[in-house]
Amino acid sequence: MADGTADVEMGTPWEHAALAWPVLQRLVGAREGSSEPEDVYQSLAAAIDQMFRDAIARFGATEADAMRYPIVALADQLVAAHLSPDGGALAVGSPWISTLERRFYGSNDAGDQLTERLSQLLAAPAPRIGLLWTYATCLALGYTEYPGRGPAGDDAQLGVLRDQAERALASLRPVRSIARVRASRPPAPPRRRPIRLLLGVCLIAFAVGWITALDEALSERTNHVIDALAEEAR
C-alpha cells in the first residue's frame, strides 16, 4: 500500500496526464480570465495540493514529488508572464511574488532544480516513463529560462535535456515523441478499452482548451503536444 514514504509503482504517461489535468485546467482558466493574482495563486495551490495527494496514493511520495515539481515551475512561469507587465520576471513589484515554488519547496530557483532533476531522471538505470512524459510535456508547453530564474545558458541546456527526454520516450514506447507532429498516414482503428477512450476524450478536451488559451508565442509548441495527445487518444 502507498503510505507516502515509498514508491508503489512507476506511473504511466496516461496516469500522469489524468492527475495533472485539473491543475492545467485551472492554469488555462487563469490565463483566460481576469482574476486577482491572489485568487489565481490560491486556486492553483489547492489544485496542486489535490494532485499531490492523489499521486501519493497512486505512486508514493517520491514519484508524486517528482511529478509535481515541473508542473509547479510551468504554472509559475506561464501565470507570471500573463499577469506581469514586464513579461513574467519574478521581481519585486510583480503581482506574482508569492510563487508556487516557494510555497511547496521553499525556493525560487526552478531553472537550476528542474535541469538537475531531469538530468538525474535521464541518468537513472530504469527511466520512469510517466515522469519523462511530465517533464517533456512541461518543457514543450513553454517552460524556459528567463531573467532571475537561473544562470545564463540554462535555456540551451533545457533544450538538450528536452530532446534527450523525447528520444528516451520514443525508445521506451511504440509511440512517437510528444513534441513531434504525427505522420500523415491514416490512424489505425481505435482498440482501446472504454476507460481509455473516455480518458482520451478528456485529454482532447484539455488540448482544445490549451489551443484557445496559450499565447501566440507558444502556439507552435502547443500544437505539437496537442497532435501527440490526440494520437494517444485514438
For every residue of 88-117, DSSP letters joined together read S---TT-TT-S-HHHHHHS---HHHHHHHH
Q: How many domains does the chain have?
A: 1
Q: Which of 213, 225, 220, 212 is nearest to 78 (CA)?
A: 213
- pLDDT at residue 86, rounded to an integer: 52
CA gap 221, 228 in Å, rounded: 11
Burial 94-111 (b: 16+ CB within 10 A, else e): bbbeebbbeebbeeeebb
In a domain, 2, yes or no: no
In a domain, 36, yes or no: yes
The SS3 call for residue 20 is: helix
Q: Look up the CATH number of the domain holding residue 33.
A: 1.25.40.590
Distances (CA, A) of 46 to 10, 51, 72: 24, 9, 12
Instruction: Provide the residue range defining the domain that includes 52.
Output: 13-233
Cell of 183: 505522420
In a domain, 1, yes or no: no
47 close to 111: Cβ distance less than 8 angstroms: no
- pLDDT at residue 35, rounded to an integer: 67
- pLDDT at residue 107, rounded to an integer: 82
CA gap 66, 124 in Å, rounded: 13
CA gap 109, 21 in Å, rounded: 25
Neighbours of 68 (CB within 10 A): 23
- pLDDT at residue 32, rounded to an integer: 64
In a domain, 133, yes or no: yes
In a domain, 138, yes or no: yes
Residue 199 makes CB contacts below 8 A (sequence gap 6+) with: 14, 17, 18, 233
Question: Where on the phi/psi map is residue 11: left (φ > 0), alpha (ψ -120 to 50), or beta?
Answer: beta
Cell of 93: 513589484
In a domain, 7, yes or no: no
Report the amino acid identity of residue 46.
Answer: A
Neighbours of 42 (CB within 10 A): 13
Q: How many helices (H) and strands (E) does the chain have?
A: 9, 0
In a domain, 82, yes or no: yes
What is the full per-residue pLDDT of the chain (234 aa) written as tens digits?
434 444 445 778 888 989 998 898 887 776 666 667 777 788 889 999 999 999 999 999 999 999 999 999 888 887 776 666 554 444 444 555 568 888 898 887 766 688 888 888 888 887 788 898 888 888 877 777 554 444 444 567 777 887 888 887 777 654 443 444 333 333 444 444 455 545 554 554 554 444 344 444 344 444 454 455 445 444
In a domain, 3, yes or no: no
